[in-house]
Structure 1
Amino acid sequence: MMILPTIEIQNGRCVSLPRGRLDEADIWHVDPVEKAREFAAAGAEWMHLTDFDAVSGHNGDRKLALEIIRHAGIPVQLAGGFRTREQIEHWIEQGAGRIVIGTMGTRDPAMVKEMAKRHPDQIVLSVDVFGGKVMVEGWTKACAITPEALIEAFEGVPLAAILITDIDSDVDATEGSLGVISHLAGTSRTPVIASGLVQQLDDISRLKYVHNIAGALVGRALFNKSFSLEEALHVARPEHEETAAFI
């Protein structure tokens, strides 16, 4: 299972948001570009970057995002406020390894499918779940489509992955979130990346054995030093099965 160390930026700073609340950010006093380089040095193959200023409908901190993309040393999966074809094309041209699309997947699925076919394995569909409903527009509105129906609507589309977030997850109660994400992963043929679930190394140990979960975002736990990225990468590696010796 792949671990994608995660940086979330707001107003030029690294932050973590409790349950997506844009006005309650925990601020980490680190340099975002240096932190991205640290991820690469620790052995990460990919990283995830969310621009919360773009999520909230502003222009976003695109200058900082571009600097991270160009200097991280590993491919960057970029999320935050993608609403048009032009935005997607622009950031792929600027070097983003993958583009994460949420709201547009429910509002204009035909266009998202077209983008996925034009850029195979570079478009990630974000399915953000709260109370069994898909949330859009920066997690502020619920839409009528169910998570299962949204995933089914993109069956056979050459997406890089489906990113599933249980917004209602709680630091002290991950069992319910694991159930939600495991269930949805089981309905998809596209590899799933779990978000908002990893708080401790044991969460990675459990996730890597769940069918069709190919990766996990890890952010807050790395910033508050619950464990190191090196430890996370080690736990996520497949374990070698013992084989009988031939005589």
Structure 2
Amino acid sequence: MILYPTIELRNGRCVSLTRGQIEEPEIWHVDPVEKAQEFAHAGAEWMHVTDFDAVQGGNANHDLVLRIIRGAGIPVQLGGGFRSRDRIEEWIELGAGRIVVGTLAAQNPHLVKELAERHPDQLVLAVDVWQGCVMIEGWKTKSAYSADGFLDSFKGTPFAAVIVTDVGADRSESDASLGTISALAERTNLPVIASGIVRTLDDISRLRLLGEVSGAIVGRALFNRTIDLKEALREARPDLAHVAEFI
């Protein structure tokens, strides 16, 4: 299983959100570019960046995101406000390894399918689930899609992966979130990346043992130090642990 250590940006700072409350972010006083390099030095294969200002239509983090992509040393999966062909293709040109689309996929599925065909293995479908429905526009609007129907509507589309987030997840609902993610993973042949569920090493182990999930996004737990990235990487890929000792 591949771990995606994550940086979430708001006003040029690393932040974490609780249930998508973008107006009240928890701020981490670290340099985003240095943190990206730290992820790479720990042995991460990929990292994930979400630009919350872009979700709201802003462009303030453009140069910072570019510095992260160019300085991280590992490929970056980038999400946040990708609602047009031009912006998706701009960031592919600028070097993003993958682009995450959610709202655009719900509102203009034909365009997203066309872009996925044009850029195979560079688009990732975001399936943000709340009470069985797909949420869009930064989790603020309920779409007309069920999670199952949304995923099924893109069958055969050459996405690089699918990110599944249980928007309503909290500490007491981890089993329900695992069930949601596992059920959707069984519906697709695409790699499924779990989001919003990893808080401890045990969560990584549980996801890995499910078998259907190919990756997990880890953010807040790395910043508040409830998870050490090197230990998490060993837990996610125990078959490679002996190799890491010699790197």
Cα deviation digits, residues 212-237 of structure 1 (max 9, x gap): 31100000000000021000000001
Q: 2:193·2:214 contact (CA, 8 Å) conserved in 1?
A: yes
* Counterpart residue number, 2:204: 204
Mapped to 1, the partners of 2:180 and 2:82 lie a distance apart of 25
Higher helix share: 2
Q: 2:185·2:213 contact (CA, 8 Å) conserved in 1?
A: yes
* Counterpart residue number, 1:87: 87
The amino acid of 1:131's aligned partner reads Q
**Residue pairs, 1:28-47, within 5 angstroms:** 28-47=28-47
Q: 1:186·1:211 contact (CA, 8 Å) conserved in 2?
A: no
Q: 1:195·1:217 contact (CA, 8 Å) conserved in 2?
A: yes
Mapped to 1, the partners of 2:180 and 2:140 lie a distance apart of 20
* Counterpart residue number, 1:243: none
Q: 1:189·1:212 contact (CA, 8 Å) conserved in 2?
A: no
Deviation at 1:60, TM superposition (A): 4.4
SS in 1 for 2:214: strand
67-76 or 179-188, which deviates more: 179-188
Mapped to 2, the partners of 1:220 and 1:156 lie a distance apart of 33
* Counterpart residue number, 2:112: 112
SS in 2 for 1:145: strand
Q: 2:28·2:223 contact (CA, 8 Å) conserved in 1?
A: yes
* Counterpart residue number, 1:53: 53
Cα deviation digits, residues 29-57 of structure 1 (max 9, x gap): 10000000000000000000000001122
The amino acid of 1:17's aligned partner reads L
* Counterpart residue number, 1:191: 191
Deviation at 1:171, TM superposition (A): 3.0
Residues matched between the structures, number? 240
The amino acid of 1:123's aligned partner reads L
**Residue pairs, 1:129-144, within 5 angstroms:** 129-144=129-144
Are 2:67 and 1:76 aligned?
no
Mapped to 2, the partners of 1:171 and 1:47 lie a distance apart of 24
Q: 1:6·1:219 contact (CA, 8 Å) conserved in 2?
A: yes
* Counterpart residue number, 1:21: 21
* Counterpart residue number, 2:156: 156
TM-score, scaled relative to structure 1: 0.95
Seq. identity, %: 58
Q: 2:113·2:157 contact (CA, 8 Å) conserved in 1?
A: yes
Mapped to 2, the partners of 1:135 and 1:166 lie a distance apart of 10
**Residue pairs, 1:166-181, within 5 angstroms:** 166-181=166-181
The amino acid of 1:106's aligned partner reads A
Mapped to 2, the partners of 1:131 and 1:150 lie a distance apart of 14
Which sections of structure 1, spanning at least 5 residues, go unmatched? 241-247
Mapped to 1, the partners of 2:50 and 2:118 lie a distance apart of 23
Q: 2:199·2:227 contact (CA, 8 Å) conserved in 1?
A: no
Q: 1:195·1:216 contact (CA, 8 Å) conserved in 2?
A: yes
SS in 1 for 2:45: coil
The amino acid of 2:187's aligned partner reads T
Deviation at 1:211, TM superposition (A): 3.5
55-64 or 219-228, which deviates more: 55-64
SS in 2 for 1:19: coil
Mapped to 2, the partners of 1:92 and 1:170 lie a distance apart of 33
SS in 2 for 1:7: strand
Mapped to 2, the partners of 1:174 and 1:25 lie a distance apart of 22
Mapped to 2, the partners of 1:34 and 1:172 lie a distance apart of 33
